[in-house]
Structure 1
Amino acid sequence: MSFQKIGHLIAVSALFLGATVATAADQATFYVAPNGSDSNKGTEEAPFKTITQAQKAVRAINGTMTGDISVILRGGTYQLSSTVNFTEADGGKDGFYVRYKAYPNETPLITGGIPMSGWTIHDEKNNIWKVEGVDARFRQMYVNGKKAIRARMPNLLDNGDHNFFRLNKVDSAGSAFLVNNSDIGEANWKNLNKVEIHLMIAWAESILRLESATKNGNVTKLEPRDPERTKLFKRKYPMLGTAFMSNPPKQQVYYLENAYEFIDQPGEWYLDESTGTLYYKARAGENMATANVVVPRVNTLFSILGKDTKNKVGYMSFEGITFANSNFLRPSEEGFLDLQASMFNIDVLPENGRLGSNKFLLWRPDAGFRVENAHHFKIKNCTFTQMAATGLDFVSGTNDDVIEGNVFYEIGGCGIMLGKFSQDSTTEIHIPYNPKDKDEISTRDTIRYNLVTNVTNEHQGAVGIAAGYPRYVVIENNEVSYTNYSGISVGYGWTKSETAMTNNKINKNNIHHIARLLCDSGPIYTLSNQGTGSEIKENYIHDMSQSKWSDYWILPIYLDEGSSGFAVENNSYKNAPSGVGRNAPGQFTEKNNNGYIASVAEAAGLQGEFKNIGDRINTIPLPDFSNVVPQAPFVENMTIPGTIEMENYDEGGQSISFNDKDFVNEGGVYREDGVDITQIDSTDKTKGYAVGYTQAGEWMEYTVNVTAGEYVFLANVASGLEGSSFQLFMDGKAISDTIVAPKGEDWNTYGTVEGKTTALEAGEHVLRVAITGAYLNIDWIKFGKSADEIISIKPSVRYGLNMDISRSSTLNVFDIRGQHMGVIRVMGMPTTSSVMQAMHAKNFKSGVYFVQSVNKAFGKMIQVK
């Protein structure tokens, strides 16, 4: 960081003290506006430009609070280049709130999207347009505020509803699907390994990428790619193959997605990743020269993350803000196998062989707004829209929070998620969740007066409101509609054993037009032992019926396996199945759940000031990217030959100047965006920074001035695991081979690897450093015309040293991602046996770990299964 930048930060900190004090009730009020400046004082007359600058202003004064602190967002577009992260340092205290809220009668739009402009005609006869040079990756696109259709076959119906083909047969032995040639034609798609099959299986939907398509007579054999192929064909549930209880027997339905050849309907689009070309068949009346076209780039827009369950974010609220355009790329990278309520398979554990296992490891999709470890937290009168997966997710460690008066519209997965669905991604899901740390359980949270509609439209097995294992949750007076599976789902685990749940109340909700595709669903669906005092009362359920595409039936209020502890009373039905559906529940009581009750219908759903919040759907603003942040150097005059420091990647943000796959800034130093930057030596800042916590597919870009020629280079790297690697690109073209970083002692011991470039042209170019093998820390790369030019750079430590860990009996334990999991102690010289015994004694889950002496100078890292 330059002295100029440091001086600027000091000056801004001083300005914070001059912010306006609005009223006696408020300690301070700051203003933010898209046309503001971060060098302003944050007053109404001189607002900040960015939310992160207001965040700094709050942190400067919230150590002692005498009233609320308000951050007022003026109307307009706030484009995020990466996740905005809030921690316990950003909250209020002593009952006083930090409030981020809209200026009266204005609509601030927080977008994680980027514009797609520069359209030219590609196929005039078919009105197909294109944009070239697209580097971003996404699965959704919106044209003038309306969702476009990722090219598919068969097409949607004229009214926009889904349409499907039926499988000819599931080839269980070959782990493949047989489809009719009369449906799909010749299957000679250009980029076949990018084509996906979307398969509806009972109550869940699976997305699988294709490996091959082989014609054989009247059928074509579609073989999916791994890892999703192997996982799917190991599962016992949901039931793959001939639809359960179908009479006459019928095969399951599917559609194909993501090929240029599928573009035959107005509104369809396709991104050819091999050429970076985006294609779109315009709808009638759309002028692509002036159209507002947006694609998502940021997975999580806002993250609220307390350090742990004892250090939560407290007393914060977000009010009157619109959040839009979040991304979620896992289906494109590993497929997506929903098990239930959009919780997806991490792994399928051995049980009874192929198509026989009912043991699973799961995790949850990304969310546009994510909250974990927070108390007295409020989301009120906000709008969540155009999100790829979950809209709002209260993950765990939440208590005494309120989600009220919000609109969830055009959401790919669940509108709202709450609480854990399993202990973690390494715990088998049928193990009842009931942690020792009760502060981890989502407790006394309230979800009321929200409109959740037109959701589950990317992941059909998701639900409107999904809660895992909450306790004392109140879900009341919400309107939930237009879902493809259940409306409200509470509980997981399929067990009658004691769980974390108790006293959950699902009352007075208005639920309609649900289960529009899948089956084995209910407007209200529950699982497992919910303790005592739980209620399902006075809900109004109407206008729902079984889809012609579903494998089998749908049910009214549905108490599924283990459901117990409920009083189910006075629920009203109209044009819908009535009564109480049950499948191996525990103890519950029921009364008056058949037919229509007018008083119940009138009092259910949105009431009072929230009655007409659905009107917001018609006023969702289009994003204005006139102030878009272009890619630009973070540090001027970087050159080749010369040294490129990895932490000095260009400005521009996610999918523009870098691609980072997680929402958390793991290192938390030097820069405040998504790239994970670590301090090389925590005790000596002069040793600088490195990019770390990397995953395959991530990259950073650097604007450099190049002197023509071929170069050799040295890179200073560290990795504690096998397989870490990177590759260099210039203006999109590879200029080096893949460079492998040998496994070292850990991620704090750096050494150099070398490579060479192809011939480079003179001038200004963009260098991309692409991570091709995960878990690499990379500090700098130095380029020279010969080894003599860079001979002064020596490796700090030689790789492959045989160090002895016998000098210490205290060991650090890391998981396969390099995350520190804890410390163990063994007597004498550590052996595999003594290490395993020590790990079992501390209740480590089964898996692969890496252990190393706490005193790294005396220990290499060893693997333990």
Structure 2
Amino acid sequence: MVENQLYVAPWGRDSWPGTFDQPFATLPAAQRAVRARTEGMRSDLVVSLRAGTHVLTEPLVLNADEGDSGENGYRVVYQAHGYGTGGQEEAVISGGRRITGWRPGEAGVWRAEVGELETRQLYVDGRRAARASVSPGIPGNVTKTETGFVTDSTVPQSWRDPGSIELVFTGVYPWSEARCRVAEITGDAHSSTITLAQPGFGWARELYLAEWVGELPPAAESTGVWATVSAPNTAENSVSFLTEPGSFALDRSEPGRHVLHYLPLPGEDPAQAEIVAPVLERLVVGRGTEERPLHDVTLRGLTFADAGWNEPSGPGGFLHFHGDTYYDGGPLRKVELAEGNARLAVPERPALLPANVEFESGVRITLADNRFTRLGAGAVGLSGPGRDNAVLGNVIEDVSGSGIAVATGTGTRVERNLIRRIGREYHGSPAVWVTDARETIVAHNEIHDVPYCGIILVGGDRAARVQIVENLIHHTMTVLADGGGIYLNGRQGSSYAGGTLVRGNVIRDTVTSYNFGLYTDYGAAWVTVQGNVVYRGDTPIVLRVTPPLENVAFLGNFWDDRPEGCDNPPAGVVVAGNTVLPKDDFERALAADPAGADILASAGRGGAASG
């Protein structure tokens, strides 16, 4: 066999040598063969995956200490067979399990026994089935209590398997959403008491609390504290909620004997359909340290699918804070907002939403031309003190959380990706999240149909020289508010030269009210916002925030509305050379302006912002 080529096929055998004619059956077998060869590498070592679904029974863990890195200046490459040619095959790496044994039941609902399976997602012939839900989350006149809610409706007492029900609080802050599990439902002939699981509801009461100083807003309680955890918008995951065709619920009332219930679409036969539930929470995990990083590994041309994340179903729920962060307990601190008139609770050590494909402390890790879909967490995560990593040309869609998350690191490139329909379950998730990073480039991506921000950039002590350039971002903020197509906060460096550059982006159709198409917020500093196009949003930019902007320049941008305060910007903010074009004829007027036409032609994956 060729020493630098290995093959894996669903029809192979792990006892075979991994040749083209006699491929391995599983990725672990190929990994063992890779580890035996890396020390003596004299060229790239390529593992080609043949067409079909490669089902993992455990994550593929790539360890720096176990021979998974490329050596001697070469790479270890996992790719679809025929990558980059017209004969490229479709190889799917799946963490799912096909659900069989479906039987019809009452009211057209089918059921399948699944043992101890825990899942928050179900995919029917590749389509994400909706989780059964009801709105409003609690019927009747609802009163909040120390442990949950009381309503004058008796309907909740009839809900099946109350311990599996999840209450969803959309807009608990305008930019946030919380999920809390029900512990029990009790009541009498006149009212129902919904007790929520702890510690989640207790954490929620501590986190989602705004203290107002001075005159209270109309919604404030007489105590002077505006408690934002009001009645839930929706309730999810009970067989009692199965009224919409194409939806499902997981009944966990009998431990170890869970039952999936599915109400099929018209003409759909669950006994014949391919119905898959995610089992794994990670598909690929790369592990290294700063002293010994995982390095020189490439994944390309592959499809990553059918992985979940079940922590939000636990007693802690999912208490989203902002962007890719959530609260799982620990210290909170108070920060001032609204020019000193309000204080918010902020987690001292927020948790980061995980990704189904994650690399920690990697060097020269490349994810290129892959597809990430049917995922229950975030899609891609890069964390730790890595450097020179790249996420290039991927398609990321139908993901419960964020698209790409970069936490620290140096020299990361996020380029030419198509990211859409993410945040399907966790609506505060951005398409791209970058925090406390250096020399990172986010360029020529197309982002659309996302429930919150397109790109979020959070500064920090190490942040410096980040570029967000020539992206096409549209139809963001479709669910939550107080965000934008691009959102930045915090200190981005120590000078304009060493700070963040936001240039040449086209941001349009920022949907919900109360948004800023291009949003510099909460003490953003050392940011140059130059030559961008912002239109069809609530407001193009904002100039006065708390803490105030410092050393932020808005130069040569095009927008369809005159930003408030641009004639008299606050100290430390420069607003110069920007052009306001008419709302009703913006695109024609932009195309007629040479500078505007150049921005429009350069933004997006292919260099033309026509998406």
Residue 508 (structure 1) aligns with: 470
Residue 32 (structure 2) aligns with: 56
Deviations 1:444-476 (A, max 9, x none): 000000011000011111111111211111001
Deviations 1:184-230 (A, max 9, x none): 94442232122110101121111101134466999755332101111
Question: Is 2:414 the partner of 1:481?
Answer: no
Residue 574 (structure 2) aligns with: none
Please, which of 7, 22, 40 is the counterpart of residue 46 of structure 1? 22
**Identity percentage of aligned residues:** 25
Calculate the TM-score normalised by the size of structure 2. Answer: 0.82
CA distance change for structure 1 residues 213 and 274 in 2, over 3 Å: closer, same or farther? closer
Work out whether residues 137 and 231 of structure 2, in 8 Å CA contact, stay in contact via their aligned partners in 1: no
Residue 590 (structure 1) aligns with: 554
Work out whether residues 165 and 182 of structure 2, in 8 Å CA contact, stay in contact via their aligned partners in 1: yes
Q: How far 1:97 moved relative to its partner?
A: 1.0
CA distance change for structure 1 residues 114 and 174 in 2, over 3 Å: closer, same or farther? same
Q: How far 1:64 moved relative to its partner?
A: 2.6
Work out whether residues 210 and 344 of structure 2, in 8 Å CA contact, stay in contact via their aligned partners in 1: no
For 1:413, the aligned partner's letter is: G
Residue 110 (structure 1) aligns with: 93
Q: How far 1:133 moved relative to its partner?
A: 4.6
Question: Is 2:488 the partner of 1:526?
Answer: yes
Secondary structure of the equivalent of 2:266? coil
CA distance change for structure 1 residues 611 and 65 in 2, over 3 Å: closer, same or farther? farther
Alignment of 1:393-408 (within 5 A): 393-408=381-396
Alignment of 1:802-841 (within 5 A): none
Secondary structure of the equivalent of 2:456? strand
Question: Is 2:179 the partner of 1:207?
Answer: yes
Q: Distance in 1 between matches of 2:194 and 2:252?
A: 22
Secondary structure of the equivalent of 2:451? coil
Work out whether residues 506 and 609 of structure 2, in 8 Å CA contact, stay in contact via their aligned partners in 1: no
Q: Distance in 2 between matches of 1:166 and 1:475?
A: 45
CA distance change for structure 1 residues 166 and 516 in 2, over 3 Å: closer, same or farther? farther
Secondary structure of the equivalent of 2:372? strand
Q: Distance in 2 between matches of 1:253 and 1:297?
A: 29
Work out whether residues 477 and 509 of structure 1, in 8 Å CA contact, stay in contact via their aligned partners in 2: yes
Q: How far 1:35 moved relative to its partner?
A: 0.7
For 1:118, the aligned partner's letter is: G
Q: How far 1:234 moved relative to its partner?
A: 1.0
CA distance change for structure 1 residues 286 and 491 in 2, over 3 Å: closer, same or farther? same
CA distance change for structure 1 residues 176 and 343 in 2, over 3 Å: closer, same or farther? same
Please, which of 311, 321, 331 is the counterpart of residue 349 of structure 1? 331
Residue 557 (structure 1) aligns with: 518
For 1:296, the aligned partner's letter is: P
CA distance change for structure 1 residues 176 and 80 in 2, over 3 Å: closer, same or farther? same
CA distance change for structure 1 residues 362 and 216 in 2, over 3 Å: closer, same or farther? farther
CA distance change for structure 1 residues 592 and 577 in 2, over 3 Å: closer, same or farther? farther
Residue 92 (structure 1) aligns with: 70
Residue 273 (structure 1) aligns with: 252
Q: Distance in 2 between matches of 1:191 and 1:266?
A: 20
* Paired positions, count: 539
For 2:161, the aligned partner's letter is: N
Alignment of 1:483-632 (within 5 A): 483-491=450-458, 499-531=461-493, 532-546=498-512, 553-582=514-543, 583=545, 584-595=548-559, 596=590, 597-607=596-606
For 2:324, the aligned partner's letter is: S
Secondary structure of the equivalent of 1:56? helix
Q: How far 1:169 moved relative to its partner?
A: 6.3
For 1:586, the aligned partner's letter is: E
Deviations 1:771-814 (A, max 9, x none): xxxxxxxxxxxxxxxxxxxxxxxxxxxxxxxxxxxxxxxxxxxx
Q: How far 1:357 moved relative to its partner?
A: 4.0
Please, which of 316, 330, 340 is the counterpart of residue 322 of structure 2? 340
Q: Distance in 2 between matches of 1:58 and 1:375?
A: 18
Q: Distance in 1 between matches of 2:272 and 2:330?
A: 48
CA distance change for structure 1 residues 540 and 577 in 2, over 3 Å: closer, same or farther? farther
Q: Distance in 2 between matches of 1:448 and 1:277?
A: 42
Q: How far 1:76 moved relative to its partner?
A: 0.6
Secondary structure of the equivalent of 1:55? helix
Work out whether residues 208 and 335 of structure 1, in 8 Å CA contact, stay in contact via their aligned partners in 2: yes
Work out whether residues 348 and 357 of structure 1, in 8 Å CA contact, stay in contact via their aligned partners in 2: no
Q: Distance in 2 between matches of 1:51 and 1:153?
A: 42
CA distance change for structure 1 residues 185 and 448 in 2, over 3 Å: closer, same or farther? same
Alignment of 1:124-143 (within 5 A): 126-143=107-124
Please, which of 262, 272, 279 is the counterpart of residue 297 of structure 1? 279
For 1:362, the aligned partner's letter is: P
Secondary structure of the equivalent of 1:561? strand
Please, which of 214, 219, 235 is the counterpart of residue 256 of structure 1? 235
Q: How far 1:58 moved relative to its partner?
A: 1.4
For 1:601, the aligned partner's letter is: L
CA distance change for structure 1 residues 528 and 218 in 2, over 3 Å: closer, same or farther? farther
Residue 422 (structure 2) aligns with: 455
Larger Rg: 1
Q: Distance in 2 between matches of 1:115 and 1:348?
A: 38
Question: Is 2:284 the partner of 1:314?
Answer: no
CA distance change for structure 1 residues 350 and 167 in 2, over 3 Å: closer, same or farther? farther
Q: Distance in 2 between matches of 1:51 and 1:60?
A: 14
Q: Distance in 2 between matches of 1:244 and 1:57?
A: 65
Q: How far 1:586 moved relative to its partner?
A: 2.2
Q: How far 1:359 moved relative to its partner?
A: 4.2
The CA RMSD over aligned residues, in Å, is 2.9
Work out whether residues 99 and 114 of structure 2, in 8 Å CA contact, stay in contact via their aligned partners in 1: no
CA distance change for structure 1 residues 152 and 295 in 2, over 3 Å: closer, same or farther? same
Q: Distance in 2 between matches of 1:267 and 1:396?
A: 40
Q: Distance in 2 between matches of 1:264 and 1:604?
A: 43
Residue 670 (structure 1) aligns with: none
Work out whether residues 167 and 178 of structure 1, in 8 Å CA contact, stay in contact via their aligned partners in 2: no
Residue 466 (structure 1) aligns with: 433
Q: Distance in 1 between matches of 2:313 and 2:386?
A: 31
Work out whether residues 167 and 254 of structure 1, in 8 Å CA contact, stay in contact via their aligned partners in 2: no
Greater fraction strand: 2
Name whichever of 127-136 and 75-84 sits farther off.
127-136
Please, which of 435, 444, 454 is the counterpart of residue 411 of structure 2? 444
Secondary structure of the equivalent of 2:40? coil
Question: Which structure has the higher relative contact order (CA within 8 Å, separation 6+)?
Answer: 2
For 1:235, the aligned partner's letter is: L
Residue 571 (structure 2) aligns with: none
CA distance change for structure 1 residues 397 and 244 in 2, over 3 Å: closer, same or farther? farther
CA distance change for structure 1 residues 359 and 414 in 2, over 3 Å: closer, same or farther? closer
Q: Distance in 1 between matches of 2:53 and 2:217?
A: 49
Please, which of 222, 225, 230 is the counterpart of residue 202 of structure 2? 230
Residue 163 (structure 2) aligns with: 193
CA distance change for structure 1 residues 194 and 67 in 2, over 3 Å: closer, same or farther? same
Q: How far 1:252 moved relative to its partner?
A: 6.9
CA distance change for structure 1 residues 445 and 252 in 2, over 3 Å: closer, same or farther? farther
Deviations 1:370-413 (A, max 9, x none): 10011111000000001101101102222101100001110000
For 2:270, the aligned partner's letter is: M
Work out whether residues 342 and 459 of structure 1, in 8 Å CA contact, stay in contact via their aligned partners in 2: no
Q: How far 1:152 moved relative to its partner?
A: 0.6
Name whichever of 58-67 and 139-148 sits farther off.
58-67
Work out whether residues 378 and 404 of structure 2, in 8 Å CA contact, stay in contact via their aligned partners in 1: yes
Residue 349 (structure 2) aligns with: 361
Work out whether residues 390 and 412 of structure 1, in 8 Å CA contact, stay in contact via their aligned partners in 2: yes
Secondary structure of the equivalent of 2:557? coil
Secondary structure of the equivalent of 1:408? strand
Q: How far 1:482 moved relative to its partner?
A: 1.3
Residue 338 (structure 2) aligns with: none
Work out whether residues 68 and 98 of structure 1, in 8 Å CA contact, stay in contact via their aligned partners in 2: yes
Please, which of 307, 330, 335 is the counterpart of residue 326 of structure 1? 307
Work out whether residues 167 and 253 of structure 1, in 8 Å CA contact, stay in contact via their aligned partners in 2: no
Work out whether residues 75 and 103 of structure 1, in 8 Å CA contact, stay in contact via their aligned partners in 2: yes
